[in-house]
Structure 1
Amino acid sequence: MKKLVLVGIGLLLFIGCKSLNPVATTSDIDTSLRTRAVQQQIEDKVLRFESLQWRGQASLEQKRKRQKVSVTLRLKQGVGIWINGSVIVPFARVFITPKQLQFYEKINRQYAKVDFIQLKKLLGARVDYEIIENIITARPLNKHSLKRAKLTFTQNSYVLSSRKRGVSLIWTYDSAFRLISQQLSDGETFVRVDYDSYQRIDNQWIPEQLNASLSGVDKTVKLRLQFKQMQLNGKFKMPFEIPKDYTKIKLH
């Protein structure tokens, strides 16, 4: 249970295998566009922000165990990701920074601090702060690889793919150049994120629902996030302090 909660919140980051219907659009794709033109459109439409806040539901599944919690998620670009989880009353809080993930839960009065090297061992897959932030905000997992990607078309989407040094990346965009899905595979890790719907705020598209899946050597974790309230570039605090009388969780 301890590890399940930690992995799940740590994966408010990553994680969806269930493929959903693409986000509906009112126009067809333009198959006359060259790769560079599509990449430029993607860059022009990428979400730009200083801060974001979501409120909604999170559902986590691992080893046939499923948990559902209400979450408030606050993000300040490049600074930190703050998550508060509750089931009727608040029971857990997470703070992810470029250096580490910190977490405490009130039921058993326990906490954990994990850097990204330790998190890789725990999940069986590489993850860092930038990856987490990019997944939450529907940005490419690796923007440098996207610039070198090859373009193909399906009936309703632009597909960009890249493979280098054993790492395969695939991005699928709709006719409005919103990210429908992205996946990464390196032989040991498989990550897929599907973006089911978006909400338009201040002329920008913000992901409203996402399904994610992370498969490592011997683990598979699935996460569904469904947000009901969003705020772009608002002012908020991200309070986080581990209570002094809490016990440190031993992670293996």
Structure 2
Amino acid sequence: MRLLKIGIASFLLMLGVSCNSARSIVGNGKVDSKLTAKQLIKENGKREAKFKTLQAKVKIDIIDGLKASGHTLNLRMEKDKTIWLSATLGLARVMITPDRVQFYDKINDQYFDGDYKLLSDLLGVELNFKKVQSLLIGEPLFDLKKDTYTISNSDVSYILEPKDQNELLELFLLFSPSHFKMDSQQLMQPLKKRFLQIDYTGYQEVKDEVLPQNIKIIAVEDSEELNVLLEYKSVSINEEVRFPFKIPSGFEEIIL
């Protein structure tokens, strides 16, 4: 479980999304019981993010049992290409590209330089850049056009699940009737007693984009639980961004 928490925490430090003159969205849409799964997937596809770049400040709170810590980080993203995050004074930095995950920590003089295999093994989901990016911007981790889904609904959300659930990995996707973006993504691995839930508890409209404002991530294995809360603010999109990143010499490689 300790390795799982390290992996998830490192993974979550890569998150962020928002914009300058953002306007919070009030979820007042009503569920239409006649909406089909095909129609829901089509409506969700229309809301796919179209920005080219973004910058933001991301407030992250990590709660691990009785321990809690908070961080404020600077995030920059070039859609489909790079996710970059830096702590105050550059004491720690993360850079993710489609084929690489890197970060370094100046406090402990350590660095990591690898691929997505570790995070995929830890979370029980095959990760790649696209899935990480989708998680950050309130889009499904999986391509909804590549499977057949059934639809149901609660009082406040549409619920999609694969027509043939995999007993090794059960998936439930909840969508908002207000804007058809994600309310929640829930992945369960009953045999491994693992559960991952990603809740999008607030959205904002940024230059015609609907993007997450608050995300809550819950990771459970056996009786241990890790919670991560993210808040995105002070953001701009479609401006020029740079991604300075160089692992300092003499640092020790992190082997997880």
Distance 1:34 1:66 in 2: 42
1:25 equivalent to 2:21? Answer: no
> Partner residue of 2:124?
125
Partner of 2:10: 9
Q: Distance in 2 between matches of 1:27 and 1:134?
A: 23
Question: Contact between 2:93 and 2:103, CA under 8 Å: does it hold in 1?
Answer: yes
1:172 to 167, 171, 174: 174
Match in the other structure for 1:248: 253
- Partner residue in 2 for 1:58: 60
Shift of 1:150: 0.7
Counterpart code for 1:125: G
- Match for 1:175: what amino acid? P
> Deviation at 1:7?
4.4
- Does the Cα contact within 8 Å between 1:211 and 1:223 map onto a contact in 2? yes
Alignment partner, residue 240 of structure 2: 235
Corresponding letter in the other structure for 2:132 = I
Paired residue for 1:185, among 183, 188, 198?
Answer: 188
Give, in angstroms, the shift of residue 153 of structure 1: 1.6
CA distance in 2, matches of 1:223, 1:6: 13
User: How far apart, CA to CA, are the structure 1 residues paired with 2:240 and 2:224?
Assistant: 38
Task: Spell out the pairing of 1:62-101 with structure 2 (5 A cutoff).
Answer: 62=64, 64-86=66-88, 89-101=89-101
Task: Find the aligned partners of 1:47 and 1:27 in 2 and give their Cα distance.
Answer: 20
**Mapped contact 2:94–2:104 kept (Cα < 8 A):** yes
Contact 2:7 2:119 in 1 (8 A): no
Q: Tell me how far 1:46 sits from its aligned partner.
A: 2.4
Deviation at 1:208, TM superposition (A): 0.9
Identity of aligned residues (%): 23
Could you say which residue in structure 1 is the equivalent of 2:231? 226
C-alpha spacing 1:216/1:35, structure 2 compared with 1 (3 Å):
same
Unaligned runs of 5+ in 1: 15-22
List runs of 5+ in structure 2 lacking aligned partners.
Answer: 16-24
Corresponding residue to 2:216 among 190, 211, 219: 211
Distance 1:199 1:124, change over 3 A: closer
Q: Return the alpha-carbon distance in structure 2 between the equivalents of residues 7 and 175 of structure 1.
A: 30
- Summarize deviations over 1:128-165 as a string: whole Å, max 9, x none: 32221111011101123785211112222211112433
- Give 1:61 shift: 2.7
Residue 5 of structure 1 deviates from its aligned partner by 6.5
Aligned partner (choices 199, 202, 216) of residue 204 of structure 2: 199
Equivalent residue for 2:40, pick from 13, 38, 41: 38
RMSD: 2.6
Preserved contact between residue 210 and residue 226 of structure 1 (Cα < 8 Å): yes
Question: Could you tell me how far 1:63 is from its partner in structure 2?
Answer: 5.0
TM-score (norm 1): 0.83
